[in-house]
């Protein structure tokens, strides 16, 4: 593929991820046979939480892309690509659920993508073990975040809960993959910075 074609293809992928339409998912939506939430106030709150999850998946795509771009290890690039494919399912499921709830993704997704891509590339340039450590810690924090959403989602919104539950399983598997591949443990200050940045993103994405 010509360099210009690769650039255009990548730009199309970025626009597809950040602005839509929803990507096609490879696995069935976990909520396909579950009833939807009915109460308006519950729908609004559920939409805010699922918008946060959708933005998280936009960030995940950017992180994996940035990490793979700067990595010189073909095996690691393949692992990152596999995880990114599963995360695309998450993105599609969250998009579908937002539409069902009468809502839309965050208007800031382009910014989330750009910042996350740079973080992923920087982690990769720091070295393979640190790159894997960044991936492992990211997935652990996302898994904990999703567990929190399972507690905060309305009890009668089983559709959102089924989606979040499957996402949590996948995130744990990605963290384990990074750990098994030799991830380095990140310093506590780095973990705290990652958590703080994620908290700001979640606060904004819930509202915008």
Query: 74-83 long-range CB contacts below 8 Å, 24 or more apart?
Result: 76/128, 76/131, 76/132, 76/181, 79/177, 79/181, 80/135, 83/174, 83/177
pLDDT at 129 over 70: yes
Q: In this predicted model, what pLDDT tens digit does every residue of 20-59 receive, in sequence order?
A: 676 677 788 998 888 776 677 889 999 999 999 999 999 9
Identify whether the C-beta of residue 90 lies closer than 8 Å to the C-beta of residue 170.
yes
Annotated domain spans of the chain: 38-207
Nearest Cα residue to 39 out of 163, 155, 162: 155
pLDDT at 88 over 60: yes
pLDDT at 131 over 90: yes
Mean pLDDT of 91-117: 93
The answer to which of 9-18, 22-31, 64-73 has the lowest mean pLDDT is 9-18
CATH of the structural domain 38-207, one choice from 3.30.465.10, 1.20.1260.10, 1.10.3720.10, 3.40.30.10 = 1.20.1260.10
pLDDT at 171 over 90: yes
Q: Can you give the pLDDT at residue 13?
A: 66
Torsion angle of C-alpha atoms 129, 141, 115, 109, degrees rounded to 10: 140
Q: Is the dihedral of CA 105, 108, 110, 115 positive or negative?
A: negative
Query: 165-172 long-range CB contacts below 8 Å, 24 or more apart?
Result: 165/30, 166/30, 166/93, 167/53, 167/90, 167/93, 168/143, 170/86, 170/87, 170/89, 170/90, 171/139, 171/142, 171/143, 171/146, 172/139, 172/143
Nearest Cα residue to 68 out of 6, 120, 137: 120
Q: Count CB atoms within 10 A of the CB of residue 30.
A: 18
- Express as a percent the part of the chain with pLDDT over 90: 69
* Helix/strand/coil for 186: coil
């Amino acid at each position: 593929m010509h360099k210009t074609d690769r650039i255009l293809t990548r730009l199309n992928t970025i626009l597809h991820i950040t602005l839509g339409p929803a990507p096609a998912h490879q696995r069935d939506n976990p909520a396909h046979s579950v009833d939807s939430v009915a109460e308006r106030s519950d729908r609004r709150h559920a939409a805010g939480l699922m918008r946060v999850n959708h933005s998280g998946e936009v960030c995940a795509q950017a992180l994996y892309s940035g990490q793979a771009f700067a990595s010189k290890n073909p095996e690691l690039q393949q692992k990152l690509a596999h995880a990114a494919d599963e995360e695309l399912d998450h993105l599609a499921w969250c998009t579908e659920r937002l539409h069902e709830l009468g809502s839309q993704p965050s208007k800031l997704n382009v910014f989330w993508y750009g910042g996350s891509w740079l973080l992923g590339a920087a982690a990769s340039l720091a070295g393979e073990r640190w790159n894997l450590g960044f991936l492992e810690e990211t997935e652990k924090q996302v898994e904990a975040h999703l567990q929190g959403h399972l507690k905060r989602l309305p009890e009668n919104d089983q559709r959102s809960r089924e989606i979040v539950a499957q996402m949590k399983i996948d995130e744990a598997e990605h963290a384990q993959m990074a750990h098994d591949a030799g991830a380095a443990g990140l310093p506590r200050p780095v973990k705290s910075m990652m958590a703080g940045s994620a908290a700001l993103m979640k606060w904004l994405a819930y509202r915008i």
